[in-house]
Amino acid sequence: MLSEYNLKTALYDTHVTLGGRMVPFGGWDMPVQYPNGILAEVAAVRTATGIFDVSHMGRLYLSGPTATEFLDWVLTGSATSLRVGRARYCLICNENGGVIDDTIFYRLAQDRYLLIPNAGNRPAVVAWFQKWLDERFTYGCTMEDVTDTTGLLALQGPGAATAIDKITNKPLSEMRPFSWSESAIQDAPVLVGRTGYTGEDGFEILVQGDDATKVWTILTDSGAAPCGLGARDVLRLEAGLPLHGHEIDEETTPIEAGLERFVRFDKEYVGFEILKNQQENGTPKKLIGFTLPGRSAPRAGYSLLQQGKTIGTVTSGSYSPTLDTSIGMGYVFNDYVASGANLDLDIRGRISQVTVTDLPFYNRPRRT
């Protein structure tokens, strides 16, 4: 099961000690859950604070006088308009508009960026970027992959802001979402972004690899519950966030995935013409969210039907413990995307009725 060729994060031994069940994911051995289980971990993030090791995700620095121009060419979002101190979510598309990866990138300085690709997509992103650096940006932009020498932790939940202020050398709780700040946690230098993948308030903390265990332990000692990939998947699904390989892939565009708001139409970049055309003329299929009563979950690959005819496919699904109903996302032909519409779901031969629902399924309560 566990391959000796899989990579291990700096926290591997810590996960094993905590009783984490290690599974292969994106070329890494990662904890899918700890002994308290996925439901308890989801509850911790929704009601208190959870901590995830997300060091399997990539960390790339793009630096130099043409780094901004380079990123504007390979990203659907604008680097030019991103201010230093801020971060942005967007897509990396191929020439057909298909999604090579989704990413958050941080503007560290006028000519320096940190970009976070998904674990399994890092080789593809690095190769894609290198191709354009070689072909089009020969001078003025360099790429440095620091995934192996750094760690990334995600502190997520309504208690995250209070928790982080207790351990950093300056208060970060007033930081705006999608901004970042440098700080230190007991002498360990950290770069903290107010970002995440759970639908809750929270922070993602970049640490030196040697400091990862220390910072993790400080966070768990402060009361944050260790959470694994299983909880992470349920949380992101409840929050309507796409997962590469499920809702988005190289054959699917951000327009089909309903991610138009992360796509600029006022600059030129790889895939732009196709995305602009789709934005103006529509696409044959669209991503929908849907709910069904009970706990029998839709799973990736199940068929969605209308009057016995297959009209779509599920990309992700789960029982949602937060909403106590089953939820799913999938692609259907354009005629069936209206919110409130009823469709049939084939659950291994058993037909259940589902209701098309606006995404996200879960919105966190806002602070007043």
Q: Which of the ranges 32-40, 180-188, 240-248, 358-366 carries the binding residues for other proteins, by CB under 8 A?
A: 32-40
Min CB(149)–other proteins separation in Å: 32
Min CB(38)–other proteins separation in Å: 4
| Cα–Cα dist 325/333, whole Å | 25
**Chain position carrying tokens 């413990």:** 321
Binding to other proteins (CB under 8 A) within 60-119 occurs at none
Q: Six-digit token pair at 137?
A: 């940006």
Residue 92 or 237 with smaller CB distance to other proteins: 237
| Cα–Cα dist 68/49, whole Å | 35
Min CB(349)–other proteins separation in Å: 11
| Cα–Cα dist 119/7, whole Å | 10
Other CB atoms within a 10 A radius of the CB of residue 128 amount to: 19
Give the one residue of 55, 103, 315, 318 binding other proteins; rule: CB under 8 A. Answer: 318
Would you count residue 195 as binding other proteins (CB under 8 A)?
Answer: no
Give the one residue of 97, 151, 230, 271 binding other proteins; rule: CB under 8 A. Answer: 230
Give the one residue of 82, 143, 234, 241 binding other proteins; rule: CB under 8 A. Answer: 234
Would you count residue 37 as binding other proteins (CB under 8 A)?
Answer: yes
Min CB(154)–other proteins separation in Å: 19
| Cα–Cα dist 365/46, whole Å | 10
Binding to other proteins (CB under 8 A) within 150-179 occurs at none
Would you count residue 348 as binding other proteins (CB under 8 A)?
Answer: yes
- At 124, give phi and psi (nearest 5°): -65, -40
Give the one residue of 7, 16, 18, 39 binding other proteins; rule: CB under 8 A. Answer: 39
269, 95 Cβ separation under 8 angstroms: no
116, 104 Cβ separation under 8 angstroms: yes
Q: Which of the ranges 78-86, 134-142, 261-269, 313-321 carries the binding residues for other proteins, by CB under 8 A?
A: 313-321
Min CB(37)–other proteins separation in Å: 5
Residue 38 or 67 with smaller CB distance to other proteins: 38
Residue 39 or 124 with smaller CB distance to other proteins: 39
Residue 123 or 301 with smaller CB distance to other proteins: 301
CA nearest to 35, candidates 225, 320, 238: 225
Other CB atoms within a 10 A radius of the CB of residue 293 amount to: 12
Query: 256 Cβ partners below 8 Å, 6+ apart?
Result: 278, 283, 285, 286, 287, 331
Min CB(2)–other proteins separation in Å: 13
CA nearest to 288, candidates 350, 360, 347, 349: 360
Q: What is the DSSP string of 118-149?
A: -TTTHHHHHHHHHHHHHHT--SS-EEEE-GGG
Binding to other proteins (CB under 8 A) within 249-308 occurs at 294-297, 299
Give the one residue of 321, 343, 354, 357 binding other proteins; rule: CB under 8 A. Answer: 321
Sign of the alpha-carbon torsion through 284, 287, 291, 294: positive
Would you count residue 319 as binding other proteins (CB under 8 A)?
Answer: yes
Alpha carbon distances (Å) from 123 to 53, 197, 242: 20, 21, 20
- Size of the chain in residues: 368
Q: Which of the ranges 34-42, 173-181, 242-250, 353-361 carries the binding residues for other proteins, by CB under 8 A?
A: 34-42
Min CB(298)–other proteins separation in Å: 10
Min CB(293)–other proteins separation in Å: 12
117, 93 Cβ separation under 8 angstroms: no
Residue 229 or 356 with smaller CB distance to other proteins: 229
Alpha carbon distances (Å) from 191 to 5, 147, 172: 30, 14, 11
81, 20 Cβ separation under 8 angstroms: no
Residue 86 or 299 with smaller CB distance to other proteins: 299
Residue 38 or 44 with smaller CB distance to other proteins: 38
Binding site for other proteins (CB under 8 A): 32-33, 37-39, 230, 234, 294-297, 299, 318-319, 321, 348
